[in-house]
Amino acid sequence: MNEQAPLTGTEHWTHKDGVKLFLWNKCAVDPATSAGTILFVHGSSMPSQPTFDLHVPRRPDSSVMEWFARRGYDCWAVDMEGYGRSEKTRDNNAPISYGADDCHAAASYIATLRGQRPLLVYGISSGALRAALFAERHPEMVARLALDAMVWTGQGSPTLAERRKKLPEFAAKNRRPIDRAFMHSIFERDHPGAAEKSVVDVFADEVLKLDDSVPTGTYVDMCSRLPVCDPEKIAAPTLIMRGQWDGIASIDDLIEFFKKLPNPDKQFTVMPGVSHASFQQKNYRLVYHILASFFSQPEPVYRG
């Protein structure tokens, strides 16, 4: 297959408690014969399409959805309530628990089209928390779970320590403004230089086309309500992905989470040369490889 051939995406819509949610799908094969169905779950400050279907001139395979679609996967992303093209009218700050509900609504909709096939689920940052809580609540819907830039208790997180200084401001309102300077700060706070400026510029352009503010709920949760999920209740095979310089979670915090995961089919990987927002980093191909290896891993023949 020509990897440079453009792939056409299709938009879909579903509802959660009367709220309209936007889904985006890319698939290059007959979905019935795909290698698996992936649900991508975005983080606190950007919607799904810029995160997972980004196109940057002279940067091949910038879209992780297209990269996986060309390898036979049926790829889906969902805008959480309050983000992107999903509805933003309810009076709430879209906390992590609501995001887990959004994942369930998306998975249920996908099942109406593709059948009751458990999903391969990837979540990044607060999206990892949403995905983990979804997997905890609905284990029958998750075949494999990948948690990138995950945090559990928040112990040892320099990013969250800084963010807590603004907790009263975040808790006082449902939405917080975002602008170009803020988008660049995501890539500069941990290790400047891990992402190309040209990539961050395009990423910021695409995010700001859709949103000039985002909900505060994930920030409030991550600053004051951790932990929000229980690793001992996550049954799916799980991959923990941590960027070398990611300031969201300490390795010690994640190792303790990892130790409590009950399924022995689990992996912990540190991604060298990566900070936060791993798909937009210079080492994005390394990140793709790690994720693809986990999603394509054969099931154990012997379990003892």
For residue 177, give both structure tokens: 């403004």
Q: What is the CA radius of gyration of the chain?
A: 18
Q: Residue 2's pLDDT is what?
A: 40
Q: How many domains does the chain have?
A: 1
Mean pLDDT per 10-residue interval, the chain, length 304 residues: 70 97 98 97 98 96 98 98 97 98 98 96 98 98 98 97 97 98 97 97 98 98 98 98 96 98 98 98 98 97 93
Q: Is residue 165 part of a domain?
A: yes
d(CA 160, CA 151): 10
Beta bridge partners of 87: none
Q: Is residue 2 part of a domain?
A: no
Q: Is residue 248 part of a domain?
A: yes
β-pairing verdict for 119-124 and 36-41: parallel
Q: Contact at 8 Å (CB) between 1 and 69?
A: no
Q: Residue 260's pLDDT is what?
A: 98
Q: What is the CATH number of the domain that holds 20?
A: 3.40.50.1820
d(CA 38, CA 70): 13
Q: Which of 113, 112, 43, 125 is nearest to 78 (CA)?
A: 43
Helix count and strand count (H, E) for the chain: 11, 10
Q: Is residue 100 part of a domain?
A: yes
Q: Residue 5's pLDDT is what?
A: 64
Q: Contact at 8 Å (CB) between 35 and 294?
A: no
- Supply the range of the domain harboring residue 58: 10-295
Q: Is residue 302 part of a domain?
A: no
Q: Is residue 142 part of a domain?
A: yes
Q: Is residue 72 part of a domain?
A: yes
d(CA 284, CA 120): 19
Q: Residue 82's pLDDT is what?
A: 98
Q: Which of 107, 137, 108 is nearest to 122 (CA)?
A: 107
For residue 103, give both structure tokens: 């994942």
Q: Is residue 113 part of a domain?
A: yes
